[in-house]
């Protein structure tokens, strides 16, 4: 139990995948919308967490642009796991009296930047990788995930068909989401014939590259009672990391989610059987399989058969990635904030055609780097007793 709640959310994407808007304007848009969702304004904000925009002092520079002076700030960067980490940190700050209303925001426009002719090395080309991995032809980041998928196949017999089912079920959710980039339903055969990118991963096993932004507002459960929307309580939150380079991953079949997932559930006082919907980081299909195992929804090595059963699909035993995920909805580079936005909306019952029935508990699980860092957040309709 953390005593914190998410009280406002917003995300902005375009079905085209392109948002031709200055980054600061895009960040401001989702921040203002998330605050309005909560019935708050910028004047209420005394905490800010972000690490986007290429700035040297990310949250400090954004605060200046917004015209606010928060007394608590965070620019920690753990890739797609960052935003669950921010929820964890925000809850701790609120509990400690260091802040009362914290805004968490992410925005990135790689597609629009490409159209403008902007180029860059990207976050995956570090000096360490350039020296120790690039000379051996490892293409980041997909090469790293392909290594994990191939190891899982070698140890547990996981098949390309099983991985493909993740993409198939994700598209079934995307078909229900008018804002998703890819809405056409696909088959396992479509995935297997989409072209090999890095064995055993195919093109349709890989996430999108789109523009997008998301924001959420976290405050105390006490303050949340008087706000515009029903609070979605942060029941548990935990983070972990184990490596930067894939060559240094202790075990290619075990992610830091094996630490963060059980820890978040313990804090919430819940078990996996209590979770009604999951929003898992799906940078690649194998990311989902590993997460399901490490979080405890199935035993290690049983992720392939689990997803092959259609568990994650609409009507499945564990509905997951209900927006269409990073594989079909949007993926601007770090998808973790969008997972939290959708998990919140599912608990509030606001998702229309993609709404899962009777959601009391939702779990959002972010993954950063090359399976390097994870953050797990458990959200609930009711505060923990």
Query: Which pLDDT tens digit goes with each residue over 238-286?
Result: 999 999 999 999 999 999 999 999 999 999 999 999 999 999 999 999 9
Q: Residue 102: pLDDT above 80?
A: yes
The distance of Cα 53 from the centroid of its chain, to the nearest Å, equals: 18
Q: Which domains does the chain have, with CATH numbers?
A: 4-115+207-380 (3.40.47.10)
Q: How many other C-beta atoms are found inside a 10 Å radius of the C-beta of residue 158?
A: 26
Higher pLDDT among residues 320 and 122, named by residue: 320
Q: Residue 58: pLDDT above 60?
A: yes
Q: Residue 385: pLDDT above 90?
A: no
Q: What is the mean pLDDT of the chain?
A: 95
Are 272 and 296 in contact by the 8 Å Cβ rule? The answer is yes
> pLDDT grade, residue 56 (50/70/90)?
low
Q: Phi and psi of 289, rounded to 5°? A: -60, -45
**Positive or negative: CA dihedral 375, 380, 382, 385:** negative
Q: How many other C-beta atoms are found inside a 10 Å radius of the C-beta of residue 296?
A: 17
Residue 121's pLDDT is 45
Tell the burial category of 43 from Cβ atoms under 10 Å away from its Cβ (0-12, 13-18, 19+): exposed
Residue 162's pLDDT is 98
Q: Residue 55: pLDDT above 60?
A: no
Lowest mean per-residue pLDDT among 55-69, 179-193, 251-265: 55-69
Is 281 among the residues known to form the active site?
Answer: yes
Q: What is the CA radius of gyration of the chain?
A: 19
* Active-site residue identified among 106, 145, 156, 281: 281
Helix, strand and coil percent figures for the chain, each rounded to 5: 40, 20, 40
- Rounded to an integer, the average pLDDT of 70-91 is 97
Asked if omega into 141 is within 30° of 0 (cis), the reply is: yes
- Rounded to an integer, the average pLDDT of 297-311 is 98
- Up-side HSE of residue 142: CA atoms within 13 Å toward CB? 17
> pLDDT grade, residue 130 (50/70/90)?
confident
Q: Residue 113: pLDDT above 90?
A: no
How far CA 13 is from CA of 25, 44, 48, 330, in Å, comes to 14, 26, 22, 7
Is 86 among the residues known to form the active site?
Answer: no
Q: Residue 296: pLDDT above 90?
A: yes
pTM of the model: 0.96
């Amino acid at each position: 139990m953390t005593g914190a709640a998410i009280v406002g959310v917003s995300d902005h994407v375009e079905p085209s995948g392109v948002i031709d808007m200055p980054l600061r304007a895009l960040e401001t848009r989702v921040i203002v919308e998330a605050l309005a969702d909560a019935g708050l304004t910028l004047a209420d904000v005394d905490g800010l967490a972000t690490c986007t925009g290429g700035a040297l002092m990310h949250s400090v520079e954004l605060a200046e642009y917004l015209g606010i002076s928060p007394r608590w700030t965070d620019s920690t960067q753990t890739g797609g796991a960052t935003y669950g980490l921010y929820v964890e940190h925000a809850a701790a700050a609120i509990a400690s009296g260091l802040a009362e209303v914290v805004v968490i925001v992410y925005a990135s426009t790689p597609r629009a930047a490409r159209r403008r002719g902007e180029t860059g090395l990207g976050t995956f080309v570090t000096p360490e990788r350039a020296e120790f991995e690039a000379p051996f032809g490892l293409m980041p980041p997909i090469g790293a995930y392909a290594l994990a998928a191939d190891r899982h196949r070698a140890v547990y017999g996981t098949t390309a068909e099983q991985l493909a089912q993740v993409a198939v079920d994700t598209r079934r959710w995307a078909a229900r989401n008018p804002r998703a980039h890819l809405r056409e339903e696909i088959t396992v055969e479509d995935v297997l014939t989409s072209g090999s990118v890095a064995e055993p991963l195919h093109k349709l096993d890989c996430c999108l590259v789109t523009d997008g932004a998301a924001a959420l507002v976290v405050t105390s459960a006490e303050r949340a009672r008087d706000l515009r929307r029903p609070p979605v309580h942060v029941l548990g939150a935990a983070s972990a990391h184990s490596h930067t380079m894939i060559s240094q991953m202790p075990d290619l079949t075990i992610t830091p989610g094996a630490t963060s997932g059980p820890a978040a559930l313990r804090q919430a006082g819940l078990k996996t059987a209590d979770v009604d919907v999951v929003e898992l980081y799906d940078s690649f299909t194998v990311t989902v399989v590993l997460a399901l195992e490490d979080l405890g929804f199935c035993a290690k090595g049983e992720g392939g058969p689990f997803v092959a059963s259609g568990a994650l699909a609409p009507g499945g035993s564990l509905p997951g990635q209900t927006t269409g995920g990073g594989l079909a909805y949007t993926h601007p580079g770090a998808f973790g904030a969008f997972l939290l936005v959708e998990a919140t909306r599912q608990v509030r019952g606001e998702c229309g055609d993609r709404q899962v029935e009777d959601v009391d508990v939702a779990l959002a699980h972010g993954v950063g780097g090359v399976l390097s860092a994870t953050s797990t957040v458990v959200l609930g309709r009711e505060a923990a007793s």
